[in-house]
């Protein structure tokens, strides 16, 4: 059960504003709080501009948060001051990027790309060990040993994404942020990459933050899901609960819009319209995440809890 597991990441009241003090200040992430437990996959979904990517980037410290706290493996990320501390942090946390074409340096060989982390962290003693380690990693992600001496342009999108995964695995991290790792890939290749990520997680007890807009894929890979909109986390819960028993209107509308490869289902599909005004804070009634059913949270005001509990009860009756 989640509560007995160790929290590997705690995000507390994270705020990430851009252009602070200017008239066009953007609240990309506006006061979100969630935890990720060791060994699980936490899926973060939302439309473009919802702040899901910014959240991932703030967690791995590519941005300095405007406010709030990120605690990773017991340490406050904002208190990484020396280079040594920062190196320790990045060894445990790695990232896989969306675009397999833009995220690999075209002038470096695959060996150098994958080994960059090994070099920075001084994890290998000599050239031979470095080469062996890279070849091992390539085999782990389903590529050939002799791919090491090639360049990125010689690979397809799916293969490149495997190289990106090998690079992330090189330093043996505990935690990997995967930001839309499959959205640039073809359907038949998407499943390959997702299954690879799942297998690696089992083998190495990895924890994932999986960021995507493809709800059905997120549901398939995640243990828990968080739904973001306008920089806020609206609903958090076990993947099945959020997907099959969505409580927040926004989640409902998002799920109703997902096309399903089933013509009969599509013919009878009713899309649910969403009225964003229900998210607006009312005077004196601040909204925050409240637990409606066990482990299933919805962002709402105190006086709305009863209404959501009612909704949850209706699912049980069905």
Partner 1 sequence: MGERILDVKNLEIDFHTYAGEVKAIRDVSFHLDKGETLAIVGESGSGKSVTTKSLMGLLANNALVKGGQILFHDEDLLKKTEKEMQNIRGKDIAMIFQDPMTSLDPTMKIGRQIAEPLMKHKKVEKKKALAQALEILKLVGITDAEKRINDYPHQFSGGQRQRIVIAIALVCYPEILIADEPTTALDVTIQAQILDLMKELQEKIETSIIFITHDLGVVAGMADRVAVMYAGQIVEYGSVDEIFYNPKHPYTWGLLNSMPTLDSTNLEAIPGTPPDLLDPPVGDPFAARNPYAMKIDAEKQPPFFKVSDTHYAATWLLHPDAPKITPPEEIVRRQKLFEQLEAKKEI
The site for partner 1 (CB under 8 A) is made up of 47-48, 156-159, 186-192, 194-195, 213, 215-217, 219-220, 243-244, 253-254, 256-267, 269, 271, 274
Cβ neighbours for 276, distance < 8 A, ≥ 6 positions apart: 229, 230, 250
Which tokens belong to 256? 């109703």
Q: How many Cβ atoms are within 10 Å of 67's Cβ, its own excluded?
A: 13
CB of 79 to partner 1, least distance (A): 37
For partner 1, give the closer residue by CB, 169 or 217: 217
Cα–Cα distance between 248 and 289 in angstroms, integer? 11
* Residues near 66 by beta carbon (within 8 Å), at least 6 away in sequence: 15, 16, 17, 20
263 vs 284, which CB is nearer to partner 1? 263
Q: By CB neighbour count within 10 A (0-12 exposed, 13-18 middle, 19+ buried), where does 251 fall?
A: buried
Cα separation, 211 vs 12, in Å, equals 18
Q: Tell me how far, at minimum, the Cβ of 101 lies from partner 1, in Å.
A: 12
260 or 278: whose CB is closer to partner 1?
Answer: 260
| CB nearer to partner 1: pick between 210 and 243 | 243
> Residue 101: in which H helix or E strand, if any?
none
In the three-class reduction of DSSP (H, G, I as helix; E, B as strand; rest coil), residue 185 is classed as coil
Residue 184 Cβ vs partner 1, minimum distance, rounded to whole Å: 10
Taking the least distance from each CB to partner 1, the nearer of 127 and 269 is 269
Q: How far is the CB of 60 from partner 1 (least distance, A)?
A: 24
Measured from the CB atom, the residue of 4 and 271 that comes closer to partner 1 is 271
Residue 129 C-beta: closest distance to partner 1, Å: 31
Cβ atoms of 32 and 228 within 8 Å: the answer is yes
In the complex, minimum distance from the CB of residue 267 to partner 1, in angstroms, rounded to a whole number: 8
Tell me how far apart the terminal alpha carbons of the chain are, to the nearest angstrom. 26
């Amino acid at each position: 059960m989640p509560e007995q597991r160790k929290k590997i990441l705690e995000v507390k009241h994270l705020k990430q504003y851009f252009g602070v003090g200017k008239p066009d200040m953007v609240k990309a992430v506006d006061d979100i709080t969630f935890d990720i437990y060791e060994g699980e996959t936490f899926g973060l979904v939302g439309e473009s501009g919802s702040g899901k990517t910014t959240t991932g980037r703030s967690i791995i410290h590519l941005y300095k948060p405007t406010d709030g706290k990120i605690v990773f493996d017991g340490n406050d990320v904002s208190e990484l001051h020396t280079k040594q501390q920062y190196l320790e942090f990045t060894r445990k946390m790695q990232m896989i990027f969306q675009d397999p074409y833009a995220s690999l340096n075209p002038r470096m060989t695959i060996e150098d790309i994958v080994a960059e982390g090994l070099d920075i962290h001084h994890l290998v003693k000599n050239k031979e060990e470095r080469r062996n380690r890279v070849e091992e990693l390539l085999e782990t992600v389903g590529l050939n040993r002799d791919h090491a001496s090639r360049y990125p342009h010689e690979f397809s999108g799916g293969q490149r994404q495997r190289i990106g995964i090998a690079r992330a695995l090189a330093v043996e991290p505990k935690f990997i942020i995967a930001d839309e790792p499959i959205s640039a890939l073809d359907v038949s290749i998407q499943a390959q990459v997702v299954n690879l990520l799942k297998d690696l997680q089992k083998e190495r007890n990895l924890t994932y933050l999986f960021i995507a807009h493809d709800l059905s894929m997120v549901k398939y890979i995640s243990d828990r899901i968080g739904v973001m909109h306008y920089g806020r986390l609206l609903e958090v819960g076990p993947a099945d609960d959020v997907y099959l028993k969505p409580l927040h209107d926004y989640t409902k509308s998002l799920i109703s819009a997902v096309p399903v490869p089933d013509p009969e289902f599509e013919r009878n599909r009713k899309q649910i319209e969403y009225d964003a005004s229900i998210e607006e804070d009312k005077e004196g009634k601040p909204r925050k995440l409240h637990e409606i059913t066990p482990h299933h949270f919805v962002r709402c005001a105190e006086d709305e809890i009863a209404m959501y509990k009612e909704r949850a009860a209706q699912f049980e009756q069905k």
